[in-house]
């Protein structure tokens, strides 16, 4: 039987070891909440899986554990921060809270952040905005990493460049979290670490010879291959275009990125909070989007196929169930948490019922 864990116990543990590693209490708490939220929603490569590498960079000094971002520009509705490589989840939540505080005066608030540390699962932030009846857009790239090839190329030049959006509907929100690539660094890295015989569902990678491949090991050869943009070998021009949009909104808008030769693991971030009340009205927004969502959900499907699933529907259902029944962690995660517990002198989280 698979062990499950109380979500609040996981948050308390993660915050505790983060504090032991030197993070300010408020930063440790937010990091823990966002990582566990990722696991609650089923994004197990971007949940507590990241706690050990985060704290390793804190120990090495590559993630700053205390302090505040430097404000480079503030025009009321548009802000640019230098994140100083502070914890990414904390920076994003701080930017959200800043936007929430300004939304009645500025119905669209945009924040660009350069030199953030890694920000974990993008979907984990969205409900904080949609619960307020607000729209949220969030995207990021990592100037220090290149793993995705431009369409037509065989060598990597950028990251999977995820893009997320949250929309209130009156019922469950629409929560979108997609990458501009066929797969992610987290998934391919995990597959390569845990099962070298494992294969991706399709030729989502490209080798140095230009041939598509389903073998994650292609990314770790010499010379390495690359992840294909969304659309793969045939339609990758579309994913490449999306990746370019993300690069423009993140590093370019923040004025710092790949051209500067950054080598520290982190993120360039762009987020935007929009108040529908300042446009056609909040109730009208929810009515229109709610109608559209219901129309899509009830669209006819081929015989034997499941109904149309709305983005975020599966994650929200899983989140609700795991909040009640306990969080199931990927087998890789508990050993890393046990090691952190031993190093910090804190009891590791115990399975439910034990």
In a domain, 216, yes or no: no
Give the model's confidence band at 292: pLDDT under 50 very low, under 70 low, under 90 confident, else very high.
very high
What pLDDT, on a 0 to 100 scale, did the predictor assign at position 353?
74
Residue 195 pLDDT exceeds 90? no
In a domain, 205, yes or no: no
For residue range 97-133, list pLDDT tens digits in order.
999 999 999 999 999 999 999 999 999 999 999 999 9
Domain that holds residue 317: 1-66+312-354
The count of residues in the chain is 354
Q: Beginning with the edge strand found earlier in the chain, give each strand of the sheet holding 70-74 in spatial order.
A: 70-74, 78-82, 108-116, 267-274, 135-141, 162-167, 174-179
In a domain, 272, yes or no: yes
Alpha-carbon distance 77 to 292, whole Å?
Answer: 30
Pair (93, 22) in one structural domain: no
Pair (247, 338) in one structural domain: no
What pLDDT, on a 0 to 100 scale, did the predictor assign at position 2?
79
Tell me the three-class secondary structure of 158-202, residue by residue: ECCCEEEEEECCCCCCEEEEEECECCCHHHHHHHHHHCCCCCCCC
CATH number of the domain residue 241 falls in: 3.30.1370.60
The total number of structural domains in the chain stands at 2
Which residue is listed with tokens 């890393």? 336
Pair (97, 234) in one structural domain: yes
In a domain, 195, yes or no: no
Alpha-carbon distance 282 to 300, whole Å?
Answer: 30
Residue 354 pLDDT exceeds 80? no
In a domain, 199, yes or no: no
Alpha-carbon distance 125 to 100, whole Å?
Answer: 13
Pair (161, 56) in one structural domain: no
Helix (H, G, I), strand (E, B) or coil at 159: coil
Nearest to 246 by CA among 266, 273, 270, 274: 270
For residue range 35-63, list pLDDT tens digits in order.
999 999 999 999 999 999 999 999 999 99
Mean pLDDT (the chain) is 97
In a domain, 292, yes or no: yes
Alpha-carbon distance 136 to 6, whole Å?
Answer: 28
What pLDDT, on a 0 to 100 scale, did the predictor assign at position 1?
58
In angstroms and rounded to an integer, the radius of gyration of the C-alpha atoms of the chain is 20
Pair (162, 75) in one structural domain: yes
In a domain, 117, yes or no: yes
Alpha-carbon distance 296 to 275, whole Å?
Answer: 24
Alpha-carbon distance 181 to 247, whole Å?
Answer: 13
In a domain, 214, yes or no: no
Pair (55, 12) in one structural domain: yes
Pair (157, 241) in one structural domain: yes
Convert 313-339 to b/e letters by CB count within 10 Å (16 or more is b). bebbebbeebeeebbbbeeebbebbee
Pair (284, 321) in one structural domain: no
Determine whether 114 is exposed, middle or buried from the number of CB atoms within 10 Å of its CB (0-12, 13-18, 19+). buried
CATH number of the domain residue 54 falls in: 1.10.1530.10
For residue range 145-183, list pLDDT tens digits in order.
999 999 999 999 999 999 999 999 989 999 999 999 999
Alpha-carbon distance 351 to 328, whole Å?
Answer: 10
What pLDDT, on a 0 to 100 scale, did the predictor assign at position 345?
96
For residue range 62-104, list pLDDT tens digits in order.
999 999 999 999 999 999 999 999 999 999 999 999 999 999 9
Pair (142, 250) in one structural domain: yes
Residue 225 pLDDT exceeds 80? yes
Q: 311 CB contacts (<8 Å, ≥6 apart)?
A: 174, 175, 176, 177
Q: What are the helix (H) ranges across 105-161?
A: 123-130
Pair (128, 77) in one structural domain: yes
Pair (56, 41) in one structural domain: yes
Pair (4, 62) in one structural domain: yes
Say if pTM beats, i.e. exceeds, 0.85. Answer: yes
Residue 289 pLDDT exceeds 80? yes
């Amino acid at each position: 039987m698979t062990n499950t864990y109380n979500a609040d116990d996981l948050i308390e543990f993660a915050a505790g070891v983060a504090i032991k590693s030197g993070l300010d209490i408020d930063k440790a708490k937010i990091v823990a909440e966002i990582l566990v939220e990722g696991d609650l929603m089923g994004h197990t490569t971007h949940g507590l899986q990241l706690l050990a590498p985060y704290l390793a960079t804190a120990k090495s000094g590559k993630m700053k554990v205390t302090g505040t971002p430097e404000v480079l520009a503030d025009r009321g509705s548009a802000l640019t921060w230098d994140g100083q490589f502070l914890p990414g989840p904390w920076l994003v939540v701080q930017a959200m809270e800043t936007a929430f505080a300004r939304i009645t005066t500025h119905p669209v608030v945009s924040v660009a952040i350069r030199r953030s540390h890694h920000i974990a699962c993008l979907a984990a932030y969205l409900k904080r905005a949609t619960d307020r009846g607000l729209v949220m857009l969030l995207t990021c790239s990592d100037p220090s990493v290149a793993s995705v090839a431009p369409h037509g190329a065989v060598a990597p030049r950028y990251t999977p460049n995820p893009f997320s959006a949250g929309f209130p509907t009156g019922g469950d929100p629409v929560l979108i979290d997609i990458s501009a690539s066929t797969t992610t660094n987290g998934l391919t890295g995990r597959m390569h670490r845990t099962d070298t015989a494992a294969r991706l569902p399709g030729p989502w990678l490209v080798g140095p010879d230009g041939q598509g491949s389903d073998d994650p090991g292609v990314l770790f050869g010499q010379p390495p291959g690359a992840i294909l943009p969304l659309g793969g070998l045939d339609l990758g021009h579309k994913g490449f275009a999306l990746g370019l949009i993300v690069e423009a909104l993140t590093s370019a808008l923040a004025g710092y990125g790949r051209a500067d030769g950054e080598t520290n693991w982190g993120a360039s971030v762009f987020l935007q909070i929009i108040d529908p009340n300042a446009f056609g009205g909040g109730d009208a927004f929810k009515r229109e989007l709610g109608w559209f969502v219901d129309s899509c959900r009830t669209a006819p499907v081929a015989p034997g196929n499941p109904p149309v699933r709305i983005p975020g529907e599966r994650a929200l259902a899983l989140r609700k169930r795991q909040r009640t029944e306990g969080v199931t962690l990927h087998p890789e995660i508990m050993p890393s948490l046990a090691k952190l517990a031993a190093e910090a002198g804190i009891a590791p989280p115990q399975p439910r019922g034990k």
